[in-house]
Amino acid sequence: MLKIYPVIAIIGLVISIGSVIRKSPFFNFTGILVCIYGLLKSAEYVMPALPSQVILMYMAMSFFSFFIYFSIQEETFKAFLEPMRAVFADDNKALLRVLIVFIGLPLFAGYLTYVKVKPTYDPPVSARIVHPEPPSQMDFRGKSVNVLGLENPLRKDAANFAKYVEEGKKIYYQNCFFCHGDDLDGKGHLSQAFNPVPLPFRGTDTIAQLPESFVFWRVSKGWRGLPAGSGPWNSSMPSFEDFLTEEEVWKVIMFIYDSTGNKPRSW
Amino acid sequence: MDMFIRRFLRMRILIAVLIAMCFSVSVYSADKPADNPEGKKIYDGWCAQCHGYKGDADSFTKDVSLPKPRDFTFGSFKFRSTPSGDPPTDADITKVIRNGNPGTSMPPWSRFSDAEVKAIVGHVKSFAPDTFAMETKPINVGNPPKASKEIIEQGKELFKTAKCVECHGNAGRGNGEKGWQADFKTDWGYGIAPANYTHPWELRNGSSLEDIFRTISVGLSGTPMTSYMDSIPDDKRWALAHFIKSLQLTRKLGLALKVRKTETLPSKPNDPAWEAVDYLDLPMGGQLMFDTRNFTPVITNVRVRGLYTSKELAILLQWIDKKPNDGSDGKPSDSIRIQFPINKLEGTELPYFFMGTGKAPVNLWQWRASDKDKVSSMTAKGPDKIEPKEKPEATVMATYDDGLYSVVFKKELKPAKDDPVFEAGKFIPFAVAAYDGQNDEDGNTRGAISAWYYLMMEPPMPLRVYVFPPLVSLGVLIAGIGLRKRLRKKKV
């Protein structure tokens, strides 16, 4: 696919080089600005696109610095203004004059004003903290549990590891996969209905960053446990203390780690 | 000599049968897939939870998915490019694994390498060795004719004469009479509903013209959807495919619906005037946070439209229900609810998206098919604390046309100080819950639910938008003329 912005940058460069040869500072100035605009926009092919605010700022800076540059010497400045004067005054530029001065500019100014005064409406956006600070203490069906330093009791029974993971698998596919996905990628067949969408467990910036105690708290308390900064009112993550026992929660946690090849954070 | 040859021939068959038996026992037995350990390993890890370790679909998810995962031991495969009665090709099975089954819990698997998928396919086939003993090849799809008004018209006619309507309904929404008879079942013994074509994103076997043509041609084995390869000629099947394609809706997902102001509201929920109005599609999911959970919702999409006048706000909700229930047939009545916050909260804070909480309650407006044109207004402080209101806050009108429910809620608009939630120009949060009686959905929690969305009554364009731009244009023009005059004088 042809990339448009680099092409714009090159056209700008050609204009400005051509106008250096023909000694026309005005077109040199225009060419440089076009080239800079093309380059700034091209940035999006190699990095996240620059926000339009930033581009506007850079363009304004370039405009003024080059304008000052071209207006320092009187000779150059005269030559710089010449094309503009010609469009207004020269008799052989009548067509250009009608097109630019009497049609183009008024319409463009009108359009800019329209964009400015037209009201725009955008729905509220809410930033949410994905991994909030867990409380040091929680209750599980009325029983008090210390989250701080909490360890998975089933991990000590290494002989039965495979059995626990398999039991966790069954729990996962009867309670979680609709949302978190068959492949634990967060793309369950019902996930689209919810906002925020369910989180993936696969990959490195997921449960791999969390200690098991945190996950125990998240699974047990679900949306109800979230602090205001995490927008509990939008979260569909159920409070699994309503549906599972403590041991079942530990088993499903073992499954989501084991099946994604992730390890709980232990530091 | 002759005798000998004949005896040998007879023996040869016997030997062949014996060899074949050994072969099938040693190679195809699911318990000893010695030749394909990789396929078994991945299958046991990532398919068995649904399709069963033995391929028999006796699995973890059998009671929490609709449709149920496929039982491979049966040897019947729905999704094929091959003639009816033939097994699918390896490419067919690979396609299902790679693309998944839209509208079911069968996900697309992109994580596995081609070699791994090949091994999985081998393992899937090993559950029904007899089925795959047969040679087969895909049908010839050929080149589709171009879409035209005539061909779609022809397809529409054929849709009736070939009796597709009996199952799929006049508008292709899957609401045909036949689909709801007690014996309408798959060969696996499960109930099934005829496909709704208007949701292309849920067509199991693909939604492109070629996919539809192929489905009509070879059918879906094991289901009442039979093959039409022999009974309907190619060109007519293309016409049917074009007609079906023409029914597909374009799903429009987003966060907010802008509601335009008009002079008068359409008089009926199914008034064609609504079709010109902008819409938003809400994907629906099962309610999974509160007991009793709904793992198998069947209402998957609710389309929302809105209009307002200086006096009233009207919200149209439309969704597909293949079998309407008004409570008179032993099933619960179909119903729908729309929810709004009662109070304005701080910042972006909202009540809980399903039925609110004690601290932040919500308003509910409910329509039930059993109550015709009656609306119930309720206050919800959580799914177990729903209190009816004495005075309804809205009115309702509803229609059911060929599988499509259209329900319009209307609310009288008051000055913002009396009714801060419904202020023009503000984003008003709303959420929807829908209940399908045929699927035994009832109560508060067994339903299909949406997240929070917003609707915004777009204020009329302010006058300045029409005044300022022409003024500025005129100003620039005058300045241009002025400058021209001066520069010209100078020259002279």
| Residue pLDDT, tens place only, A18-53 | 998 888 889 999 999 999 999 999 988 888 888 888
B21 and B35 co-located in one domain: no
Report pLDDT digits (tens) over A131-141: 999 999 999 99
Number of helices (H), then strands (E), in chain B: 10, 14
Q: Which of B71, B77, B67 is nearest to B218 (CA)?
A: B77
Residue A105 near residue A84, CB atoms below 8 Å: no
Instruction: Provide the 8-state DSSP code for B54.
Output: T
Q: How far is the C-alpha of B12 from the C-alpha of B115, rounded, in Å? A: 37
Q: Which of B193, B218, B246 is the last residue of a domain?
A: B246
Hey, are the CB atoms on A189 and B464 less than 8 Å from each other?
no
Q: Which among B288, B300, B464 is the top mutation candidate for probing chain A, defined by the most A β-carbons within 10 Å of its own β-carbon? A: B288
All residues at 6 or more sequence positions from A30 whose CB lies less than 8 Å from its CB, including other chains? A12, A15, A16
B167 and B37 co-located in one domain: no
Residue B342 included in any domain: yes
DSSP H/E element including A140: strand A137-140
- C-alpha A164: how far from its chain's center? 39
Q: What is the torsion angle, in degrees rounded to the nearest 10, for the CA atoms of residue B274, residue B275, residue B280 and residue B286?
A: 90
pTM over 0.90: no
Q: In A, residues 172-201, which contact B (CB 8 Å cutoff)?
A: 173-174, 177-179, 181-183, 187, 189-195
B3 and B98 co-located in one domain: no
Hey, are the CB atoms on A193 and B360 less than 8 Å from each other?
no
Residue B399 near residue B384, CB atoms below 8 Å: no
Q: Which among A97, A173, A235 is the top mutation candidate for probing chain B, defined by the most B β-carbons within 10 Å of its own β-carbon? A: A173
Residue A57 near residue A15, CB atoms below 8 Å: no
Kindly report the nearest CA distance between residue A10 and chain B, in angstroms. 32
Number of residues in chain A: 267
Q: Which of A181, A223, A221 is nearest to A201 (CA)?
A: A181
Would you state the pLDDT for residue B32? 46
B226 and B260 co-located in one domain: no
Would you state the pLDDT for residue B34? 52
Find tokens 């229930």 and name the residue.
Answer: B325
Residue A225 near residue A218, CB atoms below 8 Å: yes
What are the Cα distances from residue B164, in Å, to B20, B115, B141, B239, B246?
Answer: 43, 40, 21, 13, 16
Residue B484 included in any domain: no
- Put simply, whether A243 touches B (Cβ < 8 Å) is yes
Would you state the pLDDT for residue B491? 60
Would you state the pLDDT for residue B347? 79
What are the Cα distances from residue A89, in Å, to A70, B187, B408, B477?
Answer: 22, 87, 64, 15
Residue B284 near residue B297, CB atoms below 8 Å: yes
Hey, are the CB atoms on B49 and A173 less than 8 Å from each other?
yes
All residues at 6 or more sequence positions from B376 whose CB lies less than 8 Å from its CB, including other chains? B364, B365, B366, B367, B368, B388, B392
Strand B279-283 vs strand B301-308: parallel, antiparallel, or unpaired? Answer: antiparallel
Please state the rounded mean pLDDT for residues A79-86. Answer: 87
- C-alpha B217: how far from its chain's center? 23
Minimal Cα distance from A90: which residue of B?
B488
Residues of A in contact with B289 (CB under 8 A): 222-223, 236, 238-239
Number of residues in chain B: 492
Residue B8 included in any domain: yes
Residue B45 included in any domain: yes
Q: Which of B162, B284, B295 is nearest to B231 (CA)?
A: B162
Hey, are the CB atoms on B484 and A101 less than 8 Å from each other?
yes
Q: Which of B246, B274, B300 is the last residue of a domain?
A: B246
Minimal Cα distance from B467: which residue of A?
A114
Q: What is the pLDDT along chain B (492 residues), one digit of tens a residue?
A: 455 545 544 555 444 444 444 444 433 444 444 578 999 999 999 999 999 999 999 999 999 999 999 999 999 999 999 999 999 999 999 999 999 999 999 999 999 999 999 999 999 999 999 999 988 999 999 899 999 999 999 999 999 999 999 999 999 999 999 988 888 999 888 989 999 999 999 999 999 999 999 999 999 999 999 999 999 999 999 999 999 999 999 999 999 999 999 999 999 999 999 999 999 999 999 999 999 999 999 999 999 999 999 999 999 999 999 999 999 999 999 999 999 999 887 778 999 999 999 999 999 999 999 998 899 999 999 999 999 999 888 999 999 999 999 999 999 998 878 888 899 899 999 999 999 999 999 879 999 999 999 999 999 888 999 999 999 999 999 998 998 888 887 765
Residues of B in contact with A102 (CB under 8 A): 477, 480-481
Listed in sequence order, the DSSP H helices in chain A are 4-21, 25-42, 52-71, 74-89, 94-97, 105-117, 161-175, 177-180, 212-221, 246-260
Residue A253 near residue A212, CB atoms below 8 Å: yes
Hey, are the CB atoms on A173 and B60 less than 8 Å from each other?
yes
- C-alpha B331: how far from its chain's center? 23
Residue B82 near residue B92, CB atoms below 8 Å: yes
ipTM score assigned to the predicted complex: 0.87
What are the Cα distances from residue B374, in Å, to B368, B387, B394, B408?
Answer: 8, 17, 10, 12
B438 and B324 co-located in one domain: yes
Q: In A, residues 68-127, which contact B (CB 8 Å cutoff)?
A: 85, 88-89, 97, 101-102, 105-107, 109-114, 117-119, 121, 123-126
Angle between helices A74-89 and A25-42 (to 10 degrees): 90
Q: How far is the C-alpha of B483 from the C-alpha of A106, rounded, in Å? A: 14
Instruction: Provide the 8-state DSSP code for A243.
Output: T
Residue B462 included in any domain: no
CATH of the domain at B178: 1.10.760.10
What are the Cα distances from residue B394, in Å, to B249, B334, B397, B455?
Answer: 29, 19, 10, 17
pLDDT at A180 over 60: yes
Q: How far is the C-alpha of B294 from the C-alpha of A187, rounded, in Å? A: 18
Hey, are the CB atoms on B488 and A177 less than 8 Å from each other?
no
Hey, are the CB atoms on B283 and A192 less than 8 Å from each other?
yes
DSSP H/E element including B471: helix B463-491
Residue B179 near residue B193, CB atoms below 8 Å: yes
Find tokens 């390498």 and name the residue.
Answer: B113
All residues at 6 or more sequence positions from B59 whose CB lies less than 8 Å from its CB, including other chains? A173, B48, B49, B50, B51, B52, B53, B69
Instruction: Provide the 8-state DSSP code for A101.
Output: I
Strand B256-261 vs strand B301-308: parallel, antiparallel, or unpaired? Answer: parallel
B413 and B442 co-located in one domain: yes
Q: Which residue has the higher pLDDT, A266 or B6?
A: A266
CA contacts within 13 A on the Cβ side of B98: 13
For residue A114, the SS3 value is helix
B224 and B290 co-located in one domain: no
Residue A199 near residue A130, CB atoms below 8 Å: yes
Residue B163 included in any domain: yes
For residue A145, the SS3 value is strand
Q: Which of B132, B158, B176 is the last residue of a domain?
A: B132
DSSP string over B308-325 = E-SSEEEEEEEEE-SS--
Residue B220 included in any domain: yes
In angstroms, what is the C-alpha Rg of chain A?
A: 31
Residues of B in contact with A191 (CB under 8 A): 285
Hey, are the CB atoms on A259 and B45 less than 8 Å from each other?
yes
B82 and B183 co-located in one domain: no
- Put simply, whether A221 touches B (Cβ < 8 Å) is no
Hey, are the CB atoms on A193 and B285 less than 8 Å from each other?
yes
Cα angle for residues B470, B475, B478 (degrees, 5° grid): 125
Sign of CA dihedral B384, B388, B394, B398: positive
Hey, are the CB atoms on A222 and B61 less than 8 Å from each other?
no
Would you state the pLDDT for residue B8? 47
Range of the domain at B419: 256-457
Q: How far is the C-alpha of B196 from the C-alpha of B176, rounded, in Å? A: 10
- Across chain A, mean pLDDT equals 92
Hey, are the CB atoms on B477 and A106 less than 8 Å from each other?
yes
Q: How far is the C-alpha of A23 from the C-alpha of A130, rounded, in Å? A: 59
For residue B71, the SS3 value is coil
All residues at 6 or more sequence positions from B142 whose CB lies less than 8 Å from its CB, including other chains? B234
Residue B67 included in any domain: yes
Q: How many CB atoms lie within 10 A of CB B240?
A: 24
Residue B468 near residue A113, CB atoms below 8 Å: yes
Q: What residues pair up with B173 in beta bridges, in sequence order?
A: none
Of B46, B284, B289, the CB nearest to A193: B284
B310 and B370 co-located in one domain: yes
Q: What residues pair up with B408 in beta bridges, in sequence order?
A: B316, B397
If pLDDT is split at 50, 70 and 90, which confidence band does A204 have?
confident
Tokens of B351: 């009540």
For residue B418, the SS3 value is coil
Would you state the pLDDT for residue B243? 98
Residues of A in contact with B451 (CB under 8 A): 193-195, 234, 236
DSSP string over B221-290 = TTSS----TTTS-HHHHHHHHHHHHHTPPPP---SEEEEEE-SS--SSTT-GGGGGS-EEEEE-EE--SS
B24 and B40 co-located in one domain: no
B67 and B180 co-located in one domain: no
B292 and B440 co-located in one domain: yes
Residue A108 φ then ψ, to 5°: -65, -45
Number of structural domains, chain B?
A: 4
B246 dihedral zone (left: phi>0; alpha: psi -120 to 50; beta): alpha
